[in-house]
Chain A
């Protein structure tokens, strides 16, 4: 290119550079819904949005890591389902907190299986995580006996979903912690940098002397960690061990990342994109439920088209690491 290049961005320009495209879309959707859908902007409803966004957001943090790595994670849906079943089955025997820990352990175990198969045995992530998705689902069904298990009601059990810390609902606190952790991991940590390199060009990572297998392994384990936290909150919310806890969870996290602007090809992705993508999806689902126009027919095709169009344009903005 000739030496005449774009002038350095001014202060405002720099801010604009930092904010992902999906942020503006989120603002746009919010304004649109606030004006056209009744009761959208009420505090109660905004809390509803936040509750759903919180759980989805925590798991999407995990998916974002895997996408940056150039992989994909399909097994979240059955991870949380199996976790809830195990928690509820064990709860009468070992108590609430140990049962929840066992549930988290389940998610981590599934994550370890994925990590080993993908990193050590170099199997494709697409197939491996689909496999664990189906296996986990089957296992959850078998353990639960085909029907959801109801959890004994207790204060401790419902705390993760309904409790509050300093006046803020626990799920929202957890989501903020998750987002904060993701930001530190992606923007500031050594392992995060290795994730970007491995996802951006795995061969180049190898020739640079990076232990690619180790990097991949810890990526999938970290994703499972986020999933584990979300599983506890979700189990508590629905108050049961449910094999069909959230069957579309994995796909919703992928959609949230895509809408946020994270390309599925790997090597790029920012925390802000995760937040915006999740908020957009949560708002859309909520608005669809509230709005009379879209009533019982399911997600409006118009909304899906908007998301799809916007998802494509977000992806093309070169937003890589913060």
Chain B
């Protein structure tokens, strides 16, 4: 991130806020501590929801929030404009690629050392239109 966005400084990190309530509290405290805070990234959307709740209570809609995962929670927040963006990993594609690699190993064919499948960026704009075929399982799938 330093290379692409040198003006953005990471001023605090929390590794101990693990649920929504804790994320809420941490955000509350950070708002106090950092008057010039512009954005918060939360590792997954439950935390993100907590961050959003704290910001809403403090009426700080100038601070942007982004997170990862695209559960219902994140979709709702995106749609309501409370979340700037989220990312989602191509879970199905990852599974498919992993299975292919496993088959190749079982059949003693060549196995790739790295398989790269980039995460998809989801924003309010492309929420409706994004192709989720590589992300969510088809409706007819049962484990």
Chain A residues proximal to chain B, CB less than 8 Å: 38-39, 42, 44-45, 48, 51-52, 147-148, 150, 158, 161-162, 234, 237-240, 242, 244-247, 285-286, 289-290, 295-299
Contact residue among A42, A52, A150, A162 (Cβ-Cβ distance under 8 Å from B25): A52
> For the complex, is B100 an interface residue (Cβ under 8 Å from A)?
no
Interface of B (DSSP majority class): helix
* CB neighbors of A among B56-99 (8 A): 57, 71-73, 76
Shortest CB distance A34–B (Å): 14
Contact residue among A38, A148, A158 (Cβ-Cβ distance under 8 Å from B46): A148
> For the complex, is B53 an interface residue (Cβ under 8 Å from A)?
yes
Contact call B15/A296, Cβ cutoff below 8 A: yes
Give the docked Cα–Cα distance between A148 and B24 (Å). 15
Contact call A290/B57, Cβ cutoff below 8 A: no
Given contacts A150-B49, A242-B21, contact A296 B14 (CB under 8 A): yes
Which stretch of B27-35, B103-111, B119-127, B131-139 is in the interface?
B27-35
Give the docked Cα–Cα distance between A177 and B119 (Å). 50
Contact call A45/B20, Cβ cutoff below 8 A: no
Contact residue among B14, B20, B31 (Cβ-Cβ distance under 8 Å from A238): B20
> For the complex, is B26 an interface residue (Cβ under 8 Å from A)?
yes
Shortest CB distance A196–B (Å): 34
Query: What is the number of contacts between chain A and chain B, taking CB atoms within 8 Å?
Result: 75
Contact call B72/A298, Cβ cutoff below 8 A: no
Contacts of A39 in B (CB 8 A): 32-33
Contacts of B57 in A (CB 8 A): 158, 161-162, 237
Give the docked Cα–Cα distance between A158 and B58 (Å). 13
Give the docked Cα–Cα distance between A45 and B31 (Å). 9
Contacts of A147 in B (CB 8 A): 71-73
Given contacts A238-B24, A238-B50, A296-B13, contact A290 B19 (CB under 8 A): no
Contact call A245/B19, Cβ cutoff below 8 A: yes
Given contacts A242-B19, A242-B20, A296-B15, contact A148 B29 (CB under 8 A): no
Contacts of B8 in A (CB 8 A): none
